[in-house]
């Protein structure tokens, strides 16, 4: 059981866009200790905790005198018995022991940039860096239930990257920018949740087969009999598993024939470790486990480079130059592999592509587009959607707005995940607005709303697009707001919607909408 102690924490009071600080006493645990006893966090709670941490830091910065917190790390964030998060009052005498812990070298090395080895200065940049490292720590040490979807993981990774790359042209200037980028929690529809759970089960059982029967790439065989047996026991059509594993009766005969020509045991073990390293990195998003498998064969040059790539996702401090070097060298090693290992090569190219996705220089974006074209060859529908998402991001980064929209539109043809589709609609519409194509943006959002009727974010974005378009009459805007509220009454209580109507001086009175300005 987690040890709960009492701490003086900051109590933040917001009034008329100003914020005031007081203090209160709570019983709880620092975040770093709380995670040890809660390695699996309910997804809704995880999003709420992250949102509260970012929101409170933003409030601190808005207090009189624009103070900075200085000690942003998992040791300064207290989780109460009720699961509420608060920042430690570092000026309280009762917290002096916790303050000494935060000043230890082991803590400073992880949550301060290399060029700032001590908690001496207090500024927004260091608070943002500490926030990025804290989010990175939270994501690497705790799993969510259900797991983050691909778009959520990518969004968090981009937030973290912009927090940590202090000298990048895309680094955050204030915490409010981070608030806008943090993904919002969405409850999936029951049908989608059931389908995802079933697919997760399929993948886990396939993984067990690979572990027991020998991976395809090391000369063993995932047999048809094992697939049939699994399908029967799990009530899954055997054609589904054969499709997922790529196995057919003819293929099985060939693999059994080749069994006598297996490679030496140490070679098979090395290839298995490499294959499992890529599976944990690409499919399971378990970066610590991925690193463990690559470390097992660290004398392998490719594994050495892959370890560096994985470490950039697992919470370790890493300079962009070191990651780029590893990506370049890893690609050289992959190119030297024979065409008989085309499946393995495709997986490594996907790993390298994913590595470039957290960098933000023009050359990185060009490499994403180049590798994306390679990865699109022989990719299934799900992977195609993922790859197109990376390529759209690269087009955005290079300022190629029209190409980015085209990529997002193409991604929509392949993407099945509702949360990811919602994100694509918003991104594409946002780019279209920046291009001055307001009509197309509004049409994009209308299409998204028609498809995902319970999306408050798309409805809010659509209203914002109309209000921001000088060619749209105010009467039409008011009418649209009324229609959106009739179709989704709970929209009125959404935080972003409330901010929007306040920004444009709109009053809601029953079923009436009034605009003051």
Does residue 16 sit within a domain? yes
Residue 309 included in any domain: yes
Same domain, 172 and 232: no
Which residue, 119, 151, 181, sits at the end of a domain?
Answer: 181
CA distance 282 to 306: 12
Q: Does 163 lie in the same domain as 87?
A: yes
pLDDT beyond 70 at 206: no
Domain co-membership, 252 together with 268: no
Q: What is the separation, in whole angstroms, between the first and last Cα of the chain? A: 56
The pLDDT, as a whole number, for residue 116 is 84
Q: What is the pLDDT at residue 215?
A: 41
Question: What's the per-residue H, E or C state across 3-56?
Answer: CCEEEEEEEEEEECCEEEEEEEEEEEEEHHHHHHHCCEEEHHHHHHHHHHHHHH
pLDDT averaged over every residue in the chain:
81
Here the CATH number for the domain that contains residue 105 is 1.10.510.10
Contacting residues for 38 by C-beta, under 8 A, at least 6 apart: 2, 142
Q: Note whether 214 and 276 are same-domain residues.
A: no
| pLDDT over threshold 80, residue 384 | yes
Residues 345 and 441 in one domain: no
Final residue in a domain of this structure, among 344, 359, 374: 359
Same domain, yes or no: 95 and 175: yes
**pLDDT, tens only, 282-328:** 888 888 889 999 999 888 999 999 999 998 887 656 678 899 999 99
Q: Are residues 131 and 272 in the same domain?
A: no
What residues make up the domain containing 277? 264-359
Given 329, 359, 389, the domain boundary residue is 359
* 3-state class (DSSP) for residue 92: coil
Instruction: List, for residues 132-186, the tens digit of each pLDDT value.
Output: 999 999 998 888 988 888 778 888 988 998 898 877 777 899 999 999 888 888 7
Q: Is the pLDDT higher at 117 or at 190?
A: 117
Please give the pLDDT value at position 270: 85
Contact 262, 268 (CB under 8 A): yes
Query: Mean pLDDT across the stretch 479-485?
Result: 92
Higher pLDDT, 111 or 285: 111
Q: Which helix (H) or strand (E) holds 268?
A: helix 265-282
Of 269, 216, 275, the residue nearest 244 (C-alpha): 216
**Structure tokens, 15:** 């009034």
d(CA 52, CA 37): 20
Is residue 341 a part of any domain in this protein?
A: yes
Residue pair 244/202 in contact (Cβ under 8 Å)? The answer is: yes
In a domain, 282, yes or no: yes
Burial code (b: 16+ CB inside 10 Å, e: under 16) for 155-177 equals bbbbbbbbbbbbeeeebbeebee
Check whether residue 342 and residue 471 sit in a common domain: no
236 and 197 in one domain?
Answer: yes
Q: How confident is the model at residue 450 (pLDDT cuts 50, 70, 90)?
A: very high
Cα 130 to Cα 318: distance, rounded to the nearest angstrom? 15
CB atoms inside a 10 Å sphere around CB 121: 10
Q: Does residue 88 sit within a domain?
A: yes
Please report the pLDDT score of residue 236 as a whole number: 41
Please tell me the total count of domains within the chain: 4
Q: Are residues 474 and 490 in the same domain?
A: yes
Q: Has residue 119 been placed in a domain?
A: yes
Q: Which of 193-197, 443-447, 450-454, 486-490 has the lowest mean pLDDT?
A: 193-197
DSSP 8-state assignment for residue 227: H
- Would you say residue 430 has pLDDT above 90? yes
394-416: average pLDDT: 94
Q: Which long-range contacts (CB under 8 A, 24 or more apart) does 8-17 make?
A: 8/88, 8/89, 8/92, 8/94, 8/95, 9/78, 9/86, 9/87, 9/88, 9/89, 10/56, 10/60, 10/86, 10/87, 10/88, 10/89, 11/86, 12/56, 12/59, 12/60, 12/63, 14/59, 17/62
Q: CB of 348 within 8 A of CB of 302? A: yes
Residue 511: pLDDT above 60?
Answer: no
280 touches 289 (CB < 8 A): yes
H helix runs in 297-417, sequence order: 301-311, 320-335, 342-356, 362-375, 381-397, 401-412
pLDDT band at 262 (very low <50, low <70, confident <90, very high): low
Tell whether 269 is covered by a domain: yes
* 511 lies in the same domain as 453: yes
User: Is 203 among the domain residues?
Assistant: yes
Residues 34 and 71 in one domain: yes
């Amino acid at each position: 059981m987690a040890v709960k102690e009492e701490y003086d924490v900051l109590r933040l009071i917001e009034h008329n866009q100003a914020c005031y600080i007081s203090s209160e006493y709570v019983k709880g645990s620092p975040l770093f200790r709380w995670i040890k006893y809660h390695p699996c966090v309910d997804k809704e709670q995880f999003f709420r905790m992250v949102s509260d941490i970012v929101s409170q830091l933003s409030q601190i910065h808005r207090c009189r005198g624009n103070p900075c917190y200085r000690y942003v790390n998992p040791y300064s964030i207290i989780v109460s018995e009720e699961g509420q998060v608060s920042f430690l009052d570092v000026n309280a005498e009762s917290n002096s022991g916790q303050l000494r812990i935060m000043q230890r070298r082991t803590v400073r090395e992880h949550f301060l940039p290399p060029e700032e080895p001590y908690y001496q200065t207090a500024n927004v940049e260091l608070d943002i860096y500490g926030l990025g490292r804290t989010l990175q720590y939270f994501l690497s040490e705790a799993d969510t239930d259900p797991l983050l979807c691909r778009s959520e993981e990518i969004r968090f990774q981009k937030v973290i990257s912009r927090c940590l790359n202090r000298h990048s042209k895309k680094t955050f200037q204030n915490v409010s920018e981070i608030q806008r980028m943090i993904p919002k929690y969405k409850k999936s529809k029951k049908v989608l949740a059931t389908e995802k759970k079933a697919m997760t089960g399929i993948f886990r059982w396939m993984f067990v087969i690979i572990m027991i029967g020998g991976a395809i790439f090391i000369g063993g065989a995932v047999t048809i009999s094992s697939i049939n047996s699994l399908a029967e026991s799990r009530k899954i059509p055997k054609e589904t598993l054969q499709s997922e594993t790529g196995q057919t009766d003819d293929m099985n005969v060939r693999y059994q024939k080749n069994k006598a020509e297996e490679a030496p045991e140490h070679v098979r073990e090395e290839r298995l470790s490499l294959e499992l390293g890529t599976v944990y990195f690409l499919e399971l998003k378990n970066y610590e486990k991925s690193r463990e498998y690559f470390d097992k064969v660290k004398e392998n040059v490719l594994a050495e480079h892959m370890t560096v790539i994985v470490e950039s996702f697992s919470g370790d401090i890493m300079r962009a130059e070191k990651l780029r070097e590893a990506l370049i060298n890893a690609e050289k090693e992959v190119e030297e592999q024979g065409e008989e290992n085309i499946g393995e090569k495709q997986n490594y190219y996907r790993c390298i592509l994913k590595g470039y996705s957290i960098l933000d220089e023009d050359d990185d974006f060009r490499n994403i587009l180049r590798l994306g074209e390679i990865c699109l060859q022989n990719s299934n529908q799900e992977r195609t959607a993922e790859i197109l998402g990376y390529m759209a991001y690269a087009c955005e980064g290079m300022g190629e707005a029209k190409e980015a929209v085209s990529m997002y539109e193409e991604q929509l043809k392949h993407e099945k995940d509702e949360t990811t589709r919602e994100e694509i609609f918003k991104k594409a519409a946002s780019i279209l607005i920046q291009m001055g194509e307001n009509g197309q943006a509004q049409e994009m959002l209308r299409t998204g709303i028609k498809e995902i009727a319970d999306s408050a974010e798309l409805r809010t974005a659509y209203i914002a697009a109309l209000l921001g378009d000088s060619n749209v009459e105010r009467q039409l805007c008011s009418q649209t707001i009324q229609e959106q509220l009739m179709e989704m009454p709970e929209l009125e209580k959404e935080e972003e919607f409330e901010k929007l109507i306040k920004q444009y001086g709109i009053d809601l009175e029953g079923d009436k909408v009034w605009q003051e300005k």
